[in-house]
C-alpha cells in the first residue's frame, strides 16, 4: 500500500505538501477507497484546501464521483440570530435520506472535522438542543449505516481559523492555524517517514490489545482515581475493538485518524458509582467543564458541572438512553495526543488523549454478531439506544482500572493511566 504515497515528508516539506500527504493517508489508509466507489464528504468551508487534495487522490484511486457538502459556520449562526422559533424543530430530512441512499448504493463517507468548538456557546441552549434532536432524528437512517459499519468511512481533521483560535487563544490567527496543523499532522502520524506503514503497525497494535481484552471476558471494569469510584458492567457478549476494521461491504478502513483507543459496549443497566471528568467537553458549541456524575443501575441520577450545567442536563434529558452509557474506551495516558498537552476541544482528538465513556447510542459492532441482531436482541445484551452519542474524558495519570471477572476477582488493567 505504501506505493500509493507519492512523497514522504522531509524537514523542508511545506504545509501544502503535508496536507497533500494527509489526503493520501485519508484516501488509502482511512477510507480504503475502492475503484468505482462514490465518495461523499462533509467539511467546514474553511477545509477547502484539504478537500481539494482528498478529491484529487480519490479520483486517482478510481472514485466514480466525489461530492462535498460544505458547512458554513456563519450560516449556522444566522439561523440562531434570525430564524423564527419553529425553525429549530426542522431538519433537512430530504438531504439525510439522500445520503442514506448514497450509502446503500455503495458510497464511502469522509467526515472532515474542524468547526468552531465555541460556535453556539452564546446561543439559546434550548434552541441548540431542539435543532440537534431534529437533525439527529433526520440523520438516524444514515447514521445507523455508519455505526453498523455497513460502509467504509473515516473522520479526519482540518485546521480552521475558528478552531485554531480556541486551541491557541493567545496567538495571532496565522500562527494559531499553523500550530494547529502541526498538532493535527503529528497526532495523525504524518511526520513518520512512511505514514501508511506507520498506520498499519499502529492499527495492528490496537487490534492486538483488543484481542487480549476479548480473551479476558471481564464482566465489569472498576475505575478508581481522584473523585472517581465507578464500576461499569460490560454488555453480555461485548467485543473490544480498536484500530482498523473491515466494513460489512468487505472494505478495510480506519474510521478515525487519529485513533489511540480500544473500546467496547457497556451494559446499559450496570453502571454504579461516581466519576469526574478530566477534560472539558465541547458539546454543541458549549464547553462543559468539571463534570461529576453519579450512576445507579446504569443511569445517571445526579449530574453537576462547573460550567455548562444547563446544556449538560438538556443533553442527558434528550431521551431515555441519553443518561446511560453507550461506550467505554481505554487510552494510555502516554498517547501522543495526551503528551501534546493540548486541549483540542474536539472529540476526535480529546477522546484519543484519555480514557473516556460515552453517553447514549452503543455500537452494535462491539457486540458479538451485533450486525445480525434485532434492536430487541441488542437491548437484551445490554446495548444502549439513544439519539445522542457523546464521549467525555475521565482518564488521567492518576486513574487505576481493574477488570472484574465473572467470579468477582479483580485484575489490574491500567495503573496510573498506563496499561498494567
Which residues lie near its own copies (CB under 8 A)?
35-36, 38, 45, 48, 51-52, 55-56, 59-60, 62-70, 72, 74-75, 78-79, 81-84, 86-87, 90-95, 97-99, 101-102, 105, 107
Q: Shortest gap between Cβ of 229 and its own copies (angstroms)?
A: 45
Q: Which residue from 73, 176, 164 is spatially nearest to 122, judged by alpha carbons?
A: 73
Closer Cβ to its own copies, 53 or 202, answer by number: 53
Q: Nearer to its own copies by C-beta: 59 or 419? A: 59
> Closest Cα to residue 126, out of 341, 313, 291?
313
- Within 10 Å of residue 150's Cβ, how many Cβ atoms? 15
Name which of 385, 382, 393, 392 is nearest 147 in CA terms.
385
Give the DSSP per-residue string, 113-161.
E---TTTTTTS-HHHHHHHHHHHHHHHHHHHHHHHTT-S-EEEEE---H
- Cα-based torsion angle of the residue sequence 164, 347, 195, 61 in order, rounded to the nearest 10 degrees: -100
Which C-beta is closer to its own copies: that of 31 or that of 366?
Answer: 31
Residue 258: cis peptide before it, omega within 30 degrees of 0 = yes
CB of 154 to its own copies, least distance (A): 18
Q: How far apart are CA 24 and CA 2, in angstroms?
A: 10
Q: What gap in Å lies between CA 222 and CA 305, rounded to an integer?
A: 23
Cβ atoms of 402 and 411 closer than 8 Å: yes
Shortest reach from residue 144's CB to its own copies, in Å: 16
Contact (Cβ atoms closer than 8 angstroms) between residue 161 and residue 169: no
**The C-alpha cell that represents 352 in the structure block:** 484519543
What are the DSSP calls for 198-234, one per residue? Answer: HHHHHHHHHHHHHHHHHHHT-SEEEEEETTEEEEEEE
> 57 or 333, CB closer to its own copies?
57
In terms of CB distance, is 1 or 83 closer to its own copies?
83
Closer residue to its own copies, CB minimum distance, 84 or 215: 84
Report in angstroms how near the CB of residue 87 gets to its own copies at its nearest: 5
d(CA 324, CA 230): 14
d(CA 125, CA 312): 10
Between CA 82 and CA 72 the distance in angstroms is: 16
For residue 56, the minimal CB distance to its own copies (Å) is 5
Residue nearer to its own copies on the CB measure, 68 or 228: 68
Cα torsion for 280, 158, 13, 10, to the nearest 10°?
A: 60
**Min separation Cβ 42 and its own copies, Å:** 12
Residue with cell 477507497: 33
Looking at the Cβ atoms of 58 and 330, the one nearer to its own copies is 58
Number of Cβ within 10 Å of residue 367's Cβ equals 22
Least distance between its own copies and beta carbon 55 (Å)? 5
Nearest distance from residue 52's CB to its own copies, in Å? Answer: 5
Q: How far is the CB of 133 from its own copies (least distance, A)?
A: 14
- CB nearer to its own copies: give 63 or 322: 63
List residues bridging with 232 in a β-sheet. Answer: 221, 271
**Nearest approach, Cβ of residue 233 and its own copies (Å):** 41
Q: To the nearest whole angstrom, how small is the minimum distance from the Cβ of residue 141 to its own copies?
A: 12
Residue 5 or 220 having the CB closest to its own copies: 5
Nearer to its own copies, 97 or 400 (CB): 97
Amino acid at each position: 500500500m505504501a506505493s500509493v504515497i507519492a512523497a514522504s515528508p522531509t524537514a523542508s516539506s511545506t504545509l501544502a505538501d503535508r496536507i497533500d500527504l494527509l489526503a493520501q493517508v485519508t484516501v488509502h489508509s482511512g477510507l480504503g477507497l475502492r475503484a468505482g466507489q462514490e465518495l461523499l464528504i462533509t467539511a467546514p468551508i474553511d477545509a477547502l484546501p484539504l478537500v481539494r487534495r482528498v478529491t484529487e487522490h480519490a479520483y486517482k484511486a478510481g472514485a466514480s464521483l466525489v461530492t462535498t457538502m460544505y458547512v458554513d459556520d456563519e450560516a449556522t449562526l444566522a439561523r440562531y440570530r434570525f430564524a423564527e422559533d419553529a425553525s429549530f424543530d426542522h431538519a433537512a430530512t430530504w438531504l439525510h435520506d439522500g445520503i442514506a441512499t448514497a450509502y446503500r448504493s455503495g458510497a464511502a463517507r469522509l467526515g472532515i472535522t474542524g468547526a468552531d468548538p465555541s460556535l453556539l456557546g452564546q446561543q439559546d441552549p434550548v434552541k441548540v438542543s431542539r435543532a440537534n434532536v431534529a437533525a439527529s432524528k433526520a440523520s438516524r437512517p444514515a447514521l445507523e449505516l455508519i455505526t453498523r459499519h455497513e460502509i467504509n468511512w473515516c473522520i479526519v481533521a482540518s485546521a480552521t481559523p475558528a478552531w485554531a483560535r480556541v486551541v491557541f487563544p493567545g496567538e495571532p490567527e496565522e500562527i494559531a492555524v499553523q500550530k494547529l496543523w502541526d498538532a493535527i499532522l503529528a497526532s495523525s502520524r504524518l511526520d513518520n517517514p512512511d505514514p501508511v506503514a506507520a498506520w498499519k503497525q499502529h492499527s495492528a497494535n490496537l487490534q492486538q490489545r483488543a484481542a487480549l481484552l476479548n480473551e479476558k471476558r471481564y464482566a465489569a471494569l472498576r475505575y478508581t482515581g481522584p473523585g472517581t469510584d465507578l464500576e461499569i458492567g460490560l454488555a453480555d457478549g461485548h467485543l473490544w475493538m480498536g484500530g482498523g476494521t473491515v466494513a460489512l461491504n468487505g472494505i478495510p478502513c480506519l474510521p478515525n485518524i487519529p485513533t489511540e483507543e480500544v473500546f467496547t459496549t457497556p451494559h446499559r443497566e450496570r453502571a454504579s458509582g461516581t466519576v469526574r471528568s478530566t477534560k472539558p467537553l465541547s458539546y454543541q458549541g458549549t464547553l462543559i467543564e468539571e463534570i461529576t456524575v453519579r450512576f445507579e443501575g446504569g443511569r445517571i441520577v445526579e449530574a453537576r458541572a462547573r460550567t455548562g450545567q444547563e446544556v449538560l442536563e438538556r443533553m442527558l434529558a434528550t431521551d431515555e438512553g441519553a443518561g446511560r452509557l453507550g461506550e467505554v474506551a481505554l487510552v494510555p495516558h502516554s498517547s501522543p495526543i495526551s503528551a501534546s498537552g493540548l486541549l483540542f476541544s474536539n472529540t476526535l482528538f480529546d477522546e484519543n488523549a484519555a480514557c473516556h465513556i460515552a453517553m447514549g447510542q452503543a455500537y452494535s459492532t462491539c457486540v458479538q454478531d451485533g450486525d445480525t441482531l434485532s434492536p430487541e436482541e441488542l437491548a437484551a445484551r445490554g446495548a444502549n439506544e439513544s439519539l445522542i452519542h457523546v464521549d467525555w474524558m475521565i482518564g488521567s495519570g492518576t486513574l487505576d482500572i481493574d477488570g472484574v471477572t465473572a467470579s468477582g476477582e479483580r485484575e489490574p488493567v491500567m495503573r496510573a493511566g498506563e496499561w498494567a
